[in-house]
Amino acid sequence: MKKLRFFLILLSLTCSYAQAEKLFVEMEFHENCIKLDDGSNKNHQPIKGEDGKDLKFTSLIGAINYMSLQGWELVETRSVISGQGYVSTIIGGQSSTNTKVYYIFSKDVTEEELEQIVNNSYKTK
pLDDT in tens, 60-112: 999 999 999 999 999 999 888 887 766 565 666 666 777 788 899 999 999 88
Note whether 60 and 81 are within 8 A (CB).
no
Q: Quote the pLDDT of residue 16.
A: 45
Nearest CA among 40, 36, 22 for reference residue 110 = 22
Provide the 3-class DSSP secondary structure of residue 70: coil
Q: Quote the pLDDT of residue 19.
A: 63
Note whether 117 and 107 are within 8 A (CB).
no
Determine the Cα angle at 38 with ends 20 and 18, to 5°. 10
State the pTM of this model. 0.68
